[in-house]
Structure 1
């Protein structure tokens, strides 16, 4: 994609977020024609966000279920960048009015303990580079997107809708992540659950996909970075003030208050 077109598309995204306009497909000639174009725009958009939100400290992986991939018309996950000021500790408070439309995703996050060599990666080859696992909630902002006409390339360009993450303390030892059960609750009442296997069969498969995707763009996962591997259940869109909690068996729990 031409650099000037990608830059214009990134500036459009910044302006739309500031104006709190509804998510829309990025129109030609600046909109992404391919998924590679979408990541070109994302790179420039994230760079523009850096002055306000700090450096990249991790990544998110989305569309980690076959159902969601089919819904969006692709056969692979998508990635986005997590910026420093958007990382919150468990117990954080967020306000719905700060987003076009806030969504919460209940996830397993992993911490990279040592630099991952650039190149194709598998769950087995990335496992030695992971030194921590925690319960996590991703904050997404879909800006009230119309899912009946969703353009996944424009979604990717918009940093795959990442608007923040909330993390529990990292556990240095963990049970079998394929079988681990996570339960989400609202004001103490459980409303959804899922297992680690619901994330591409195993959360490390998600981290490996991301490492491979980054390598295709000349990058690599670095020690200290966090990877949000994907949600174990469908996204929740809070419509009222409430306290949300995600308990991950054998690992920990994370909470966020939505006002």
Structure 2
């Protein structure tokens, strides 16, 4: 008999926290702690965020993954996914990094958007024009991602990607551009 979802989520959070602290590859984690689906992946992500906040590490921003239809089709998820970027991992214009701090590092060119103010989930529906009005500034950004060899793990799931902050381990933001 398998463990309950609540216990699995708690254990998965502890394992992910340990693995992230120790820079361990996913293939070394227990199979039964892998979130099997998107909803459980987000439950693990939420609980992992709480653990980082308990350590004094807040969320700086959010990343959107799978923003294009071709990426969504390639992994079988029909919508974008999201993950937090921790304050301690967000850098302005420059940072020195070591490849030894990652298992399988990937740098991605991105466009970062700073909103002009808070947005409530019930304000929609959104159009390109109404969304554009809420943008305060834009920045060139480099996302630092590390899938920790999850593609080689026999238990790779979409829930695991979400639980692990959509593989985000940092970003470097360029100068802010207003009136774009």
TM-score > 0.5 by shorter chain: yes
After the TM superposition, list the runs of 4 or more consecutive aligned residues in structure 1 that deviate by more than 6 angstroms. none
Instruction: Give how far 1:161 is off.
Output: 0.7
Partners of 1:26 and 1:111 lie apart in 2 by 38
Change in Cα spacing, 1:148 to 1:45, as seen in structure 2 (3 Å) is closer
Helix, strand or coil at the partner of 2:17: helix
Is residue 11 of structure 2 the alignment partner of residue 8 of structure 1? yes
Assess if the C-alpha contact under 8 Å between 1:80 and 1:162 holds in 2. yes
Partners of 2:77 and 2:147 lie apart in 1 by 18
Is residue 89 of structure 2 the alignment partner of residue 86 of structure 1? yes
Higher strand share: 1
Partners of 2:30 and 2:159 lie apart in 1 by 9
Instruction: Give how far 1:121 is off.
Output: 4.5
Structure 2 residue ranges without an equivalent (≥5): none
Instruction: State the TM-score, normalizing by the size of structure 2.
Output: 0.84
- CA-to-partner distance for each residue in 1:123-160, whole Å, 9 max, x for gaps? 33332221010100000111123269642211111111
Helix, strand or coil at the partner of 1:93: coil
- CA-to-partner distance for each residue in 1:198-224, whole Å, 9 max, x for gaps? xxxxxxxxxxxxxxxxxxxxxxxxxxx
1:33 aligned partner: 36
2:133 aligned partner: 128
Instruction: State the TM-score, normalizing by the size of structure 1.
Output: 0.60
The count of corresponding residues between Structure 1 and Structure 2 is 173
1:50 aligned partner: 53
Counterpart among 68, 71, 80 of residue 68 in structure 1: 71
Matches within 5 A, 1:152-167: 152-167=158-173
